[in-house]
Amino acid sequence: MQEIQLERLRYPEIEHFLKEGWKRVVFACGAVEQHGPHLPLFVDAEHGTALSTLVAGKLGRTLVAPTIRIGCSDHHLAFPGSLSIRKETFENLVSDYIHSLSVHGFRQILILPTHGGNFHPLQDMAPRLREAFPAMDIAIYHELKGLMDLWRRETEAYNGLGERVGGHADIAETALMLHLHPELVRKDIAEPGFSGNFSEEEIKEMIDKGFRTVTPNGILGDARGADELLGQRLLEALATQIETWYQKR
């Protein structure tokens, strides 16, 4: 397969891509934070790299910039090891990424949040980014509900356990890690977490007061029942959904 990740290429190769008209770059915005007792902290960051690479391949003539690995994760800081950056820092990072890419001649940017806590900050900064970089076509994927609906639908079709998708360290994210890094998943201690539907007020309270006030083990949904094939299916389905969203926007 042709290498499309910027950090794995040499600068003459990138120069060649630009001369050939490759003016689009995709990058993900993930997180390094707790994902229950059974998953490693880098779930969202690793998912981001895999997803952005798949999306770029589906779009064609698209390169992949390195994932911004640390995100807005204040609501996870009650769990040891979780890292977070301020929204201002996050916006500065995204802006500096776009500036660097614009200097080289890239003109289309697709940003993929793969951590729920990054969706709102990215939407909030979008108008300022577009004002700061008027020559750039900046698209930010914002369909968090669509992502969750897709995971539930695909999981239900695969093994009838769609109700175990809750949004964090659940059957879906466990399956993704079994696909990407099976050696780091403690499948033997996968367990249920908080299950139920959140109102907008409850979601805000959870973000304001922290995850541990709602889910003592850090899981939303149920982590049991995952396997590698489900993870591959979810990743492919989400990449296709994002490609379609981008083409239709």
| Of 49-58, 59-68, 78-87, 195-204, minimum mean pLDDT range | 195-204
What tokens were used for 96?
């500096």
Average pLDDT, the chain: 96
Burial class, 226, CB count within 10 angstroms (exposed 0-12 / middle 13-18 / buried 19+): buried
pLDDT of res. 58: 98
Contact 171, 165 (CB under 8 A): yes
Three-class HEC string of 99-115: HHHHHHCCCEEEEEECC
pTM of this prediction?
0.96
Q: Among 62, 41, 42, which Cα is nearest to 52's?
A: 62
Reported as type and span, the H/E element at residue 220 is: strand 220-221
What proportion of the chain, given as a percentage, has pLDDT over 90? Answer: 92
* pLDDT tens for each residue of 21-47: 999 999 999 999 999 999 999 999 999
Three-class HEC string of 139-179: EECCCHHHHHHHHHHHHHHHHCCHHHEEEECCHHHHHHHHH
pLDDT of res. 1: 77
Better pLDDT: 203 or 230: 230
What tokens were used for 216?
């003592």
What tokens were used for 80?
């040891």
Residue 195 region by backbone torsions, left for phi larger than 0, else alpha for psi between -120 and 50, else beta:
beta
Give the amino acid at 168: H
pLDDT of res. 169: 98
| Of 25-39, 50-64, 113-127, 203-217, minimum mean pLDDT range | 203-217
pLDDT of res. 208: 83
Question: Domains of the chain, with CATH numbers?
Answer: 6-248 (3.40.50.10310)
Average pLDDT rounded to a whole number, residues 153-165: 98
Contact 28, 67 (CB under 8 A): yes
* pLDDT tens for each residue of 200-219: 677 777 878 899 988 999 99
* pLDDT tens for each residue of 169-198: 999 999 999 999 999 999 999 999 998 777
Alpha-helix runs per DSSP H in the chain = 11-19, 43-59, 87-104, 116-132, 144-159, 171-180, 200-209, 228-248
pLDDT of res. 206: 82
Residues counted in the chain: 249
pLDDT of res. 12: 98
pLDDT of res. 159: 98
